[in-house]
Amino acid sequence: MQSNIVMFPKPGVGEKSTQTQETTVTKYDRAEQQFIELLTMENLDARLDIKPAKANEFQQTLSMAIRAAYENDRSDEQAHLFLQRILYRINRLNLFWYDDLHNYTNERSLYLYSCRDQIEAAWQKWELAQFDLAALQQLDAKQALIERASADLNPSLSTNSRYIREELTESGYRHLLAIGSFDGLVEASNLSRVLGGAANEVQCTLVRVLLEEYGNGRLSRKHSTFFAQMLAEFGMKTEPEAYLNLVPWEVLASTNHNFLMTECKRYFLRYCGGLTYFEVAGPAVYKNYLVTAQRLGLSEVAVGYWELHIREDERHGRWMLDDVALPLAEQYPNDAWELVLGYDQQKLMSDRAADAVVRSIRQAEQAALVL
């Protein structure tokens, strides 16, 4: 992978330190390339049983990155990026991309599972350490969800929101679309993974949300189609993952978190809490983008996705709170706090990702000025 991080020498830090950083980045790049080769290796597990040394260098780098990201007082940004990219390359095998079938050769590899588990164990411990779980367990879960949703429906404008509304250039808007396409072109894919099983009102509500995200089965109305049209309006690539190298680790982490929440049925309440936040808070975010597009004088095609999402996610937010989260809190009173944890965790991850996206946009705009 080509590193998309611009590294500037820090005041008081010598050339040797900068060279060390660059060497580490190169090591992560090389390890990711090694992992990509392992992903498509025929009979990966059997071949590693015979010759485990094939994965030794990658495994050493993986262990180094886990320590650097989650076990040191100061987290290493490059380590976070490397780990979330590796985790995403494993998780994406849970979806079908209509590509070469050979790419799924190792989708059930025990070695890949072991890599995933190594990363997730350290990463999730690090993430959960940011919450007071004991305090969450003492809350009235239903009241906490109602209060949170009310506050997040129409929040006051943050510094990031004002920047996007008032300062974002057309170049920055394109950069925003590039990063946003990572999720926008495969939207709601993880939701589809929790819909099977016993039938009840909660399940049917989740199905309704998915159906609207998927255009009720019509490609022309699918939300991802509207996003692709925005990209095409600017002559940008419309293939999924086309701009993967621009995606900050904070955005990847949110996606990987949802893979985990939907993979493990034990985390169903946390996932539904997180989805409730996402649907409740979404319209306010999309309004920022719509205001920006209108200020820049962009066409209706270039803003259609935001308009659609504002309209539909306002409805989805009500559905998720009233018909999913609150009924689940009643059905699982002893575990209802997990809905609040899921809500709060998705909010933290979304805010963190938003900060990272704005930083990336600012860097891109600054680079454009230099050129």
Q: For residue 249, give the CATH number of its domain.
A: 1.20.910.10
pTM equals 0.92
Q: Please report whether residue 354 resides in a domain.
A: yes
Closest CA to 1 of 29, 31, 36: 29
Q: Is residue 163 part of a domain?
A: yes
Per DSSP, 133 falls in state H
370 — pLDDT class (breaks 50, 70, 90) = low
pLDDT tens-digit readout, 12-26: 334 444 555 657 789
Take residue 359 and report the two structure tokens written for it.
Answer: 């930083």
Q: Average pLDDT in the 162-188 region?
A: 96
Tally of CA atoms within 13 A in the half-sphere of 369 that contains its CB: 8
* Residue partners of 119: CB distance under 8 A and separation at least 6: 62, 66, 83, 86, 87
Q: Identify whether residues 34 and 120 lie together within a single domain.
A: yes
Same domain as 114, residue 74:
yes
Percent of the chain at pLDDT above 70?
Answer: 94
Question: Which of the two residues, 214 and 5, has the higher pLDDT score?
Answer: 214
Please check whether residues 203 and 227 belong to one and the same domain: yes
| Structural domain ending residue among the three candidates 128, 152, 181 | 128
Q: Quick: pLDDT tens for 78-95.
A: 999 999 999 999 999 999
Report CA 34 to chain centroid distance, whole Å.
Answer: 24
Q: What is the pLDDT of residue 302?
A: 86
- Lookup: tokens for 130: 């940011």
Are 48 and 152 within one domain? no
- CB–CB of 104/317 below 8 Å? no
Whether residues 110 and 153 fall in one domain: no
10 belongs to a structural domain: no
- Average pLDDT score over residue span 304-322: 94
Q: Could you give the CA distance from residue 150 to residue 249 in angstroms, rounded to a whole number? A: 29
As a whole-number percent, the residues of the chain with pLDDT over 90 amount to 88
Are 340 and 299 members of one domain?
yes
Q: Is the pLDDT of residue 273 over 80?
A: yes
173 and 104 inside one domain: no
Place of tokens 């239903």: 142
Judged against a pLDDT cut of 50, whether residue 352 lies above it is answered with: yes
Is there a domain that residue 4 lies in? no
pLDDT of residue 102: 94
In which band, very low, low, confident or very high, does the pLDDT at 329 lie, cut at 50, 70 and 90? very high
User: Do residues 294 and 165 share a domain?
Assistant: yes
In this structure, the answer to whether residues 265 and 117 fall within a common structural domain is: no
State the pLDDT at residue 1: 33
pLDDT of 368 = 77
- 331-337 average pLDDT score: 98
pLDDT tens figures, 192-210:
999 999 999 999 999 999 9
Q: What is the pLDDT of residue 19?
A: 55
- pLDDT for the residue 21: 60
Domain count, the chain: 2
3-class DSSP state for residue 62?
helix
Confirm whether 3 is domain-assigned: no
> Residue 54 domain-assigned?
yes
**Residue after which a domain boundary falls, among 112, 128, 144:** 128
pLDDT value of residue 14? 41
Q: Long-range pairs for 261-265 at CB < 8 Å and ≥24 separation?
A: 261/190, 261/342, 262/190, 262/191, 262/193, 262/194, 263/94, 263/193, 265/194
Supply 241's token pair: 């993952």
Do 99 and 221 have their domain in common? no
Residues 77 and 174 placed together within one structural domain of the fold: no
Residue 58 lies in a domain: yes
Q: Are residues 102 and 174 part of one domain? A: no
Assess whether pLDDT exceeds 80 at residue 174: yes
Quote the longest CA-to-CA distance of the chain. 63
164 lies in a domain?
yes
Report the C-alpha gap between 103 and 49 in whole angstroms: 21
- From 109, 128, 147, give the residue that closes a domain: 128
Q: Give the domain range for residue 100.
A: 15-128
> Which residues 6+ apart lie within 8 Å of 68 measured at CB?
75, 76, 78, 79
What average pLDDT does the structure give for the chain? 92
DSSP-based three-state secondary structure for 131:
coil
